[in-house]
């Protein structure tokens, strides 16, 4: 049985409709300056809409998104994205996890804004593992999320945490690592291909400017747990760095796939989404659907970017 899973990420939707100045007098101020000088011209809502339409047209068995749906974690941004998603996906067609921009400020994080707007896409098919929650945990106690498909199990981690200005780091946390171990050991996953999704990369990217300010703080702890666990995922996918990359866990050689932004305009690291083709319990291929800016369409390509 062949299963096709579509994957998009890092849409960075901006909306300032009805936003008051006082809502920007925090970390959002530096973010707004960055938007004005850089991001706003590169990450376009219309490209995101084209991506969503192309994902639907690809007719995957399921779709996943690895976070950074919004830019400044403002209500109008969540409202805009929620509307775009609900027009195209029912609750059983899409699974999400948050990125650092979805928890951009402590206020948005504590309010559980991401979970409030996208709760329909945050399933708990395997249960919440509430007995492993630590006292004092915030909304992150809901993670990992889980969904069961025919032949495929999906586990989603939250690496999103509010950070100081100019920081975009993430963290899984010890409590969530314990729950991840329990989730991966669930009997329902024994005969299923298991896909683990998260926002931040597992490995550093030294070539990126200020990479230290963007890393997953406890990546090594996560890698070590996945390497030694009796039950480990068959595929790990993430976003955050806005370009395609294929890596692997050092010992198990489990594929670790990074997807580019789903809304980036222009010719450098242009928008794309993936389709993972899973057959007989193995990852058979990765289709990269790459945006053609002039036509506003997506071209199915192999991993090298060669059109299929």
- pLDDT at residue 213, as a whole number: 85
Model confidence pLDDT, tens digit, residues 21-49: 555 555 544 544 454 445 556 789 999 99
- pLDDT at residue 17, as a whole number: 66
- Whether 196 has a pLDDT exceeding 60, the answer reads yes
Count of structural domains within the chain: 1
Model confidence pLDDT, tens digit, residues 103-153: 988 888 888 999 999 999 999 999 866 655 555 456 667 899 999 999 999
Rounded to whole angstroms, the Cα distance separating 101 from 13 reads: 10
Q: Given pLDDT bands bounded at 50, 70 and 90, which one contains residue 161?
A: very high
Please check whether residue 123 is in contact with residue 149, taking contact to mean a CB–CB distance below 8 angstroms: no
Rg (CA), the chain: 18
- pLDDT at residue 31, as a whole number: 47
Please compute the mean of the pLDDT values over residues 70-86 and round it to a whole number. 93
Cis peptide before 144 (omega within 30 of 0): yes
Token pair for 142:
């809901």
- Whether 73 has a pLDDT exceeding 50, the answer reads yes
Is 306 among the domain residues? no
Would the pTM of this model clear 0.75, i.e. be above it? yes
- 208 against 240, higher pLDDT: 240
- pLDDT at residue 134, as a whole number: 57
Is 159 among the domain residues? yes
Q: Please give the residue range of the domain that contains residue 30.
A: 2-301
CATH of the domain at 266: 3.60.21.10
Please report, rounded to a whole number, the percentage of residues in the chain having pLDDT higher than 90.
70
- Whether 19 has a pLDDT exceeding 60, the answer reads no
Rounded to whole angstroms, the Cα distance separating 100 from 67 reads: 8
- pLDDT at residue 22, as a whole number: 54
Strand arrangement, sheet containing 235-238: 145-149, 152-156, 193-197, 235-238, 255-258, 245-248
Q: If DSSP codes are grouped into helix, strand and coil, which group holds residue 287?
A: strand
Helix pair angle (174-184, 219-228), 10° resolution:
20
Q: Given pLDDT bands bounded at 50, 70 and 90, which one contains residue 182?
A: very high
Please check whether residue 80 is in contact with residue 45, taking contact to mean a CB–CB distance below 8 angstroms: yes
- pLDDT at residue 32, as a whole number: 47
Model confidence pLDDT, tens digit, residues 295-306: 889 999 999 999
Is 307 among the domain residues? no
Q: If DSSP codes are grouped into helix, strand and coil, which group holds residue 216?
A: strand
Average pLDDT over the chain reads 89
Beta-bridge partner residues of 191: none
Q: Given pLDDT bands bounded at 50, 70 and 90, which one contains residue 92?
A: very high
Angle 38-42-45 from CA coordinates, rounded to 5°: 125
- Whether 20 has a pLDDT exceeding 60, the answer reads no
The secondary structure of residue 281, as a DSSP letter, is T
Model confidence pLDDT, tens digit, residues 224-282: 999 998 899 999 999 999 999 999 999 999 999 999 999 999 777 899 999 999 999 99
Is 58 among the domain residues? yes
Is 164 among the domain residues? yes
Is 119 among the domain residues? yes
- pLDDT at residue 167, as a whole number: 83
């Amino acid at each position: 049985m062949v299963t096709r899973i579509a994957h998009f990420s890092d849409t960075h939707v901006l909306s300032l409709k009805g936003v008051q100045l006082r809502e920007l007098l925090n970390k959002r101020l530096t973010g707004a300056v960055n938007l004005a000088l850089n991001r706003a011209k590169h990450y376009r809502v219309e490209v995101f809409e084209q991506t969503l339409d192309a994902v639907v047209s690809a007719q995957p068995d399921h779709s996943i998104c690895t976070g950074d749906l919004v830019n400044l974690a403002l209500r109008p941004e969540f409202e805009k994205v929620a509307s775009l998603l609900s027009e195209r996906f029912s609750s059983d067609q899409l699974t999400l996890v948050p990125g650092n921009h979805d928890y951009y400020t402590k206020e948005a994080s504590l309010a559980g804004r991401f979970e409030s707007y996208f709760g329909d896409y945050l399933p708990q098919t395997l249960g919440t593992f509430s007995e492993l929650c630590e006292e004092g945990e915030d909304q992150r106690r809901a993670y990992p999320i889980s969904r069961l498909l025919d032949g495929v199990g999906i586990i989603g981690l939250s690496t999103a945490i509010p950070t100081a200005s100019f920081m975009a780091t993430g963290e899984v946390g010890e409590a969530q690592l314990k729950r991840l171990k329990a989730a991966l050991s669930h009997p329902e996953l024994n005969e299923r291909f298991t896909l683990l999704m998260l926002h931040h990369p597992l490995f550093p990217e030294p070539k990126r400017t200020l990479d230290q300010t963007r890393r997953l703080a406890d990546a090594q702890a996560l890698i070590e747990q996945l390497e030694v666990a009796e039950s480990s995922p068959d595929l790990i996918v993430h976003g955050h760095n806005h370009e395609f990359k294929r890596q692997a866990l050092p010992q198990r050689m489990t594929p670790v796939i990074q997807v580019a932004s789903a809304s980036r305009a222009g010719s450098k690291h242009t928008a794309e989404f993936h389709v993972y083709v899973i057959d007989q319990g193995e990852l058979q291929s990765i289709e990269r659907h790459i945006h053609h800016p002039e036509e506003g369409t997506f071209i199915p390509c192999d991993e090298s970017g060669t059109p299929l």
